[in-house]
A = this chain, B = another copy of it.
Amino acid sequence: MLNEEPHFSLQAEPQGTRWEAIAADLRVDIVQGVFPPGSRLPNEAALAERFQVNRHTLRHAMQSLAREGFVQVRHGSGTFVRELVLDYALQRRTRMSENLAEAGEQGRRELLSHSEGLAGSLWANRLRLSPRAPVLQMSTRALVRGRPVSLCSAAYPLPRLGAMAQAFARLGSITAALAELGVTDYTRERSVISSRLPNQQEADALARPVTQPVLVVDYCNVDAAGVPVEAGRTLFAADAVQLTVGPDGWERS
């Protein structure tokens, strides 16, 4: 699903117009944190000077960035980089792809690593397997507007879901990969939410300082017959994502 969404190119398109090239440059500055969330962009005069264009062309670029959700014009006080807060609905059918799409954000999810091993004490209980049962472990990362927003470490029972990593790498969506492997529907049994500071490795993968908390969601998903198909732990960058819980979500099913 995510892969069907258009992605912004982070490079200026050489074949575009001047204002498109300026918007692309500013997009890179925003995504890379040159202008961090909440900060005010330099004023029109300064930007017109930087790009050597008139204010009309600059405004065209700004309007484009505002439409895309990168910036917000506050009349009388300037143009600000929008805070990225994604509402992530925890419900019976919790789907990262849908949460990203419903938020109207440009999101995608990528495979960081995968390996086969034993369920062990970490996964056996949640997948209702013996600790010596084989599982596939996958680490993935979700990005919105080019910026990491979450890390996920999940396990899938083998041999049933042995082709998950390949399917996910191709489709960019857990839901689509599970469907291809015959799990046409799945529901969430339970989510347990906690919070802590990330370790250095986690902070690096999220492109954030170790002093910024993560929301930790432990979960288990089961197929239509109630058999666990996925157990995992997702770390959400708490400056970018908030979790929502409501009766509507659970009743929607």
Tell whether, in the assembled complex, residue A242 and residue B191 are in contact, meaning their CB atoms are under 8 Å apart: no
Contact with B along A192-220 (1 / 0, CB 8 A): 11111100000000000001011100000
Residue of B nearest to A85 (CB): B194
Tell whether, in the assembled complex, residue A215 and residue B195 are in contact, meaning their CB atoms are under 8 Å apart: yes
Tell whether, in the assembled complex, residue A92 and residue B238 are in contact, meaning their CB atoms are under 8 Å apart: no
Tell whether, in the assembled complex, residue A193 and residue B190 are in contact, meaning their CB atoms are under 8 Å apart: no
The answer to whether A213 and B193 touch (CB under 8 A), given A92-B247, A250-B250, is no
Whether a CB of chain B sits under 8 angstroms from the CB of A122 is: no
Q: How many angstroms from the CA of A85 to the CA of B192 in the assembled complex?
A: 12
Residue of B nearest to A87 (CB): B192
Shortest distance in angstroms between A173's beta carbon and chain B's nearest beta carbon? 22
The count of residues in chain A whose C-beta lies closer than 8 Å to any C-beta of chain B is: 27
Tell whether, in the assembled complex, residue B215 and residue A194 are in contact, meaning their CB atoms are under 8 Å apart: yes
Q: Which residues of B contact A193 (CB under 8 A)?
A: 193, 215, 242-245
Q: How many angstroms from the CA of A213 to the CA of B242 in the assembled complex?
A: 15
Residue from the list B187, B191, B194, B247 in contact with A238, Cβ < 8 A: B194
Q: How many angstroms from the CA of A250 to the CA of B243 in the assembled complex?
A: 16
Whether a CB of chain B sits under 8 angstroms from the CB of A251 is: yes
The answer to whether A192 and B250 touch (CB under 8 A), given A211-B211, A213-B197, is no
Residue from the list B189, B196, B247 in contact with A250, Cβ < 8 A: B247
Tell whether, in the assembled complex, residue A196 and residue B213 are in contact, meaning their CB atoms are under 8 Å apart: yes
6 example contacts (A-B, Cβ-Cβ < 8 A) are as follows A188-B246, A192-B244, A192-B245, A193-B243, A194-B242, A196-B213
CB within 8 Å of B: which residues of A? 87, 90, 92, 187-197, 211, 213-215, 238, 242-247, 250-251
